């Protein structure tokens, strides 16, 4: 299939998701409120900590807010575009409904990942972007068009990392059938992405900053916006996102080979 | 069969069925350690160069967050709301309506058995990391704290469970209650002091939080046993307020139950 055909399939999925959302309007508002509430909790935490101190690991209040906003932005993008697709993949592998995706003429990973869009998650990307914008404004930052585009490119790398981590998590279903609650491990990693890299010491630094992409994912884009673009950092993030994406795709295909359908 | 024997059996059966989920509880416990790591890293960095934040040392703050994890597994409502909602949705609840059993007491007994299992298992991950964090912790040794802390924990469990019970009963009216549950969970997590100790809020907001029931669901018992509440008189007053909230919650639960039953059409079963 050509790229054009994939785009058409994706657009059809988008249309289907929007129609569905308009059918269940109350659900849309309720789930938007849920995500908004959790985001507010994180912003409040920053607010409370900085009532008692001026800097955390060298980050001022609004720098920290910008970091938290960036982390939320990446997470909302994952929620909006991929979360329920990958989440349901786990369930479908268990029930055998996954056959349906394999029977389609496109790339199975593409088909699995893009079936649905969650407008509530996407609506909250604007709130997260608002937090980033407000923090940048309070810091007196004027990144210009190039700065903003570079920041967005780094956020996109972050999205690739989050996607890969979550795909790796749900792909375990191919081996261990009973994986309800496994998505908890993804959230655990995300929790670390709201912390400044400089706060990590010793083993935590080696493990969470260098081995797992938990911290770089948000720190590199936020750092670029605050202190200006540094090619070395950007290359680091780009390399990490490429490596984790390759690993996730590899594991997914390995799992695919094991998949033997289920039920009758 | 007298009432006590009846619910004792429910407790024993509940204990057995929850022991099946022991690995689940254990894994959850180990995930909590990661959350504890986030807390230690964040607050460790916030304390750099400071001896106190909000009048408390770094040790006291670490102790507070460590105790929270234990308390969550001992008195927290996990997915009781979801279970109750499911029983209403798929009609399993009908069998209880026909038997001489009080549904609230039945669910509360099952909740107690679940917390007995998770409350013991949480100490496995905590003991594993204890050698690492031992020097960071500062538990106060006063006997009165334990004396008042024990009833505070029981009352907190009652509050947490009854709130979850009320949310579960919403299934009489709504097909899908997960949204409500997670929304209330966000409010509860924040206002019960699980994101940060409530005493770090501006004084007016801290005062306001004390007028809400969430304060008594986690912050109050945690602050009591970890030394953030230092006046025994204030602690006894807190217990009294907890009792009032429990009474109020029970009334609300009873009201929702009776109203909901009238809507109930007993599908499935």
Q: How many other C-beta atoms lie within 10 A of the C-beta of residue A141?
A: 18
Query: Are B42 and A49 a contacting pair at CB < 8 A?
Result: yes
Output the pLDDT for position B125.
Answer: 92
Point out the residue among B28, B48, B186 whose CB comes nearest to the CB of A38. B186
- Mean pLDDT of the A160-189 span: 83
Q: What is the CA radius of gyration of chain A?
A: 19
On the CB side of A191, CA atoms within 13 Å amount to 19
Output the pLDDT for position A1.
Answer: 77
- Mean pLDDT of the B193-215 span: 95
pLDDT of residue A264 exceeding 60: no
Phi, psi of B52 (to 5 degrees): -140, 145
CB B143 within 8 A of CB B58: no
- Rounded CA-CA distance B98/A146 in Å is 70
- Rounded CA-CA distance B103/B256 in Å is 13
Query: Are B42 and A37 a contacting pair at CB < 8 A?
Result: no
Q: Which chain A residues are Cβ-neighbours of B45 within 8 angstroms?
A: 56-57, 195-196, 198-199
pLDDT of residue A178 exceeding 80: no
Q: How many other C-beta atoms lie within 10 A of the C-beta of residue B27?
A: 16
- Mean pLDDT of the B135-162 span: 93
- Rounded CA-CA distance B94/A37 in Å is 35
Contact residues of B toward A, CB < 8 A: 24, 27-28, 31, 34-35, 37-38, 41-42, 44-48, 50, 53-54, 176, 179-180, 182-183, 186-187, 189-190, 195-196, 200-202
Chains A and B: how many Cβ contacts under 8 Å? 76
Query: Are B31 and A52 a contacting pair at CB < 8 A?
Result: no
The interface predicted TM-score of the complex, written ipTM, equals: 0.89
Q: What percent of chain A has pLDDT over 70?
A: 97
- Rounded CA-CA distance B50/A27 in Å is 46
pLDDT tens across B176-191, in order? Answer: 888 888 888 899 999 9
Domain locations in chain A as residue ranges: 3-258
CB A89 within 8 A of CB A255: no
Q: Which chain B residues are Cβ-neighbours of A185 within 8 angstroms?
A: 31
How close B199 gets to chain A, by Cα (Å)? Answer: 10
Query: Are B46 and A56 a contacting pair at CB < 8 A?
Result: yes
Query: Are B45 and A57 a contacting pair at CB < 8 A?
Result: yes
pLDDT tens across A89-111, in order? Answer: 988 888 888 888 888 888 999 99
Own/partner pairs, A103-110, CB within 8 angstroms, 24+ separation: A105/A1, A106/A1, A106/A5, A106/A6, A106/A9, A107/A1, A107/A6, A108/A256, A109/A249, A109/A252, A110/A6
- Mean pLDDT of the B4-20 span: 90
pLDDT of residue A174 exceeding 90: no
Point out the residue among B47, B186, B201 whose CB comes nearest to the CB of A37. B186
Task: Please report which confidence band the pLDDT of residue B214 belongs to, taking 50, 70 and 90 as the band edges.
Answer: very high
- Mean pLDDT of the B80-87 span: 92
CB B211 within 8 A of CB A59: no
The partner residues of B56 in beta bridges, in order of sequence, read: B53
Output the pLDDT for position B255.
Answer: 97
Phi, psi of B53 (to 5 degrees): -125, 120
Query: Are A56 and B42 a contacting pair at CB < 8 A?
Result: yes
pLDDT tens across A39-60, in order? Answer: 999 999 999 999 999 999 999 9
pLDDT of residue B269 exceeding 70: no
How close A191 gets to chain B, by Cα (Å)? Answer: 7
Output the pLDDT for position B73.
Answer: 93
Q: Could you list the beta-strand ranges (E) of chain A.
A: none
């Amino acid at each position: 299939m050509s790229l054009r055909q994939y785009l058409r399939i994706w657009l059809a999925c988008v249309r289907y998701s929007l129609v569905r959302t308009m059918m269940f309007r109350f659900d849309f508002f309720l789930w938007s409120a849920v995500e908004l509430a959790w985001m507010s909790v994180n912003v409040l935490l920053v607010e409370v900590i900085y009532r008692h101190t001026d800097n955390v690991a060298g980050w001022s209040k609004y720098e920290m807010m910008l970091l938290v906003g960036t982390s939320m932005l990446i997470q909302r993008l994952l929620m909006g575009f991929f979360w329920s697709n990958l989440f349901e993949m786990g369930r479908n592998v268990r029930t055998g409904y996954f056959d349906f995706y394999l029977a389609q003429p496109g790339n199975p990973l593409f088909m699995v990942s893009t079936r649905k869009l969650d407008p509530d998650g996407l609506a909250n990307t604007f709130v997260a972007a608002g937090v980033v914008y407000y923090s940048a404004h309070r810091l007196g930052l004027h990144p210009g068009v190039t700065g903003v585009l570079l920041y967005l490119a780094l956020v996109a790398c972050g999205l690739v990392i989050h996607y890969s981590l979550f795909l790796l998590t749900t792909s375990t279903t191919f081996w261990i059938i009973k994986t309800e609650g496994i998505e908890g491990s993804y959230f655990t990693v995300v929790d670390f992405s709201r912390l400044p890299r400089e706060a990590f010491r010793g083993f935590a630094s080696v493990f969470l900053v260098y081995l797992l992409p938990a911290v770089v994912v948000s720190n590199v884009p936020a750092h670029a916006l605050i202190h200006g673009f540094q090619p070395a950092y950007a290359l680091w993030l780009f390399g990490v996102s490429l490596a984790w994406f390759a690993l996730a795709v590899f594991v997914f295909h390995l799992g695919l080979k094991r998949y033997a359908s289920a039920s009758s | 069969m007298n009432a006590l024997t009846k619910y004792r059996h429910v407790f024993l059966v509940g204990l057995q069925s929850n022991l099946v989920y022991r690995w689940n509880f254990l894994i959850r416990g180990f995930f909590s350690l990661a959350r504890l790591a986030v807390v230690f890293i964040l607050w460790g960095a916030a304390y750099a160069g400071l001896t106190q934040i909000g009048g408390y040392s770094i040790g006291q703050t670490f102790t507070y967050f460590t105790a929270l994890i234990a308390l969550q597994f001992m008195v927290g409502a996990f997915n009781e709301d979801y279970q109750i909602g499911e029983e209403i949705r798929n009609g399993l609840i009908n069998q209880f309506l026909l038997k001489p059993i009080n549904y609230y007491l039945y669910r509360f007994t099952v909740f107690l058995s679940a917390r007995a299992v998770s409350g013991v298992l949480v100490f496995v991950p905590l003991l594993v990391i204890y050698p690492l964090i031992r020097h960071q912790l500062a538990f106060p040794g006063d006997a009165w704290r334990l004396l008042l802390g024990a009833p505070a924990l029981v009352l907190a469990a009652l509050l947490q469970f009854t709130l979850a019970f009320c949310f579960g009963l919403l299934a009489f009216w709504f097909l899908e209650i997960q949204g409500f549950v997670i929304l209330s969970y966000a409010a509860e997590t924040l206002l019960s002091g699980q994101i940060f100790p409530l005493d770090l809020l501006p004084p007016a907001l801290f005062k306001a939080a004390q007028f809400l029931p969430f304060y008594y669901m986690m912050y109050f018992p945690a602050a009591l046993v970890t030394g953030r509440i230092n006046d025994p008189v204030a602690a006894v007053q807190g217990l009294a307020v907890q009792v009032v909230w429990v009474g109020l919650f029970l009334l609300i639960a009873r009201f929702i139950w009776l109203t909901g039953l009238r809507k109930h059409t007993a599908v499935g079963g």
